[in-house]
Amino acid sequence: MTFFEELDRIMKQDMGGRGLLGSLPANPIRETAAALTNSARVLLLTGFPVKMEDGTFIGETDGPSGTANLAAAFTASGASVLVVTDRSSFPLLAEALRFRAPKAVLREIPDENTGVFVRECVSSFAPTHFISLERPGKAHDGHYHNMRGEIIDSMVTDASLFPAEAKRFGAVTISVGDGGNEMGMGRYRREIEANVPCGRQICTEDSADLALVSGVSNWWGWGIAALLSLQTGNYLLPTESEETELLRRVVLAGGVDGCTKERVQTVDRLPLNVHLSVLHSVSDLLLKEMEHRGLTSIFCKTISSESGLLQQAAH
């Protein structure tokens, strides 16, 4: 099994029983790796709101961690990074980026005149790459939906212009999702409508140039960081301790589990140790591939795990 095939297998572990992953073709990982070449200016968009019992809404824990890991990997690779989110997720991203990617710039989408903001944001930054990760996308009916098919327009600041505007400036558009209602997932419309509950209602209308799907969207923060690691020769994934601290900070900033609505260190109902096991698998795969490609001489990194399963220093 090649590196790309194994990474696809790791990403497609359906630990949450979402039902979509088994029906999909292989993730376009080779194409994504090629597209990441010359990623000079990267615009990242995230933020999925959750409505609480008191009627308020806050961003979920799936999105901020993955986006912060992307921002960390891209800035370490020399790219300029602009992260955009809306009011409900802004404090989560601010804390996540402060910890993982302090060089990245964070901007908040205003509640009004969002079209003006999007156009100004894209034209001034002129991104080479646009990546949305766990960001709601509009369905065929023109509305945003949660996984139950409920319309959530009142909770979402409309950012639907971003992909088209980014493409207008020549940017490659990449979208990450795990359920079918995320921006850019229209590329898998047939599979989403056939295999996801409420799929016909929630499937997003727009299609990214490259759409990446995983059991939890955050995981592609590690997956894309692994691809950048192979390009640069530098290990760019977080350690398990860093990932643990990152999620802790997101929760302290107000983040909630999108499925349970609880302010605990879980993502999509899955406990932290499950996510760390996936990170461990990606890390182990990356280190083996770097050694195979003769890249281990370029970096020196010690990866430690809570269980002590892996402790490796490259020389």
pLDDT tens per residue across span 7-57: 999 999 988 776 678 889 999 999 999 999 999 999 999 999 999 999 999
What phi and psi, each to the nearest 5 degrees, are found at residue 223?
A: -60, -45
Which H or E run contains 132? Answer: strand 129-133
Q: For 94-103, how does the pLDDT look when each residue is reduced to its tens digit (9 = 90+)?
A: 999 999 999 9
- At residue 85, does pLDDT exceed 50? yes
Residue 68 CA to residue 153 CA, distance in Å, equals 25
Quick: pLDDT tens for 111-136. 999 999 999 999 999 999 999 999 99
Helix locations, the chain, DSSP H: 3-11, 29-35, 64-76, 90-100, 114-125, 162-168, 189-195, 199-202, 219-232, 240-252, 272-292
Look at residue 29 and give its three-state secondary structure: helix
Task: Please tell me the predicted confidence (pLDDT) of residue 16.
Answer: 75
As a whole number, the mean pLDDT across the chain is 93
pLDDT (0 to 100) of residue 118? 98
The two tokens of residue 143 are 């509305």
pLDDT tens digits for range 174-230: 999 999 999 999 999 999 999 999 999 999 999 999 999 999 999 999 999 999 999
Q: Compute and round to an integer the Cα radius of gyration of the chain.
A: 18
pTM over 0.85: yes
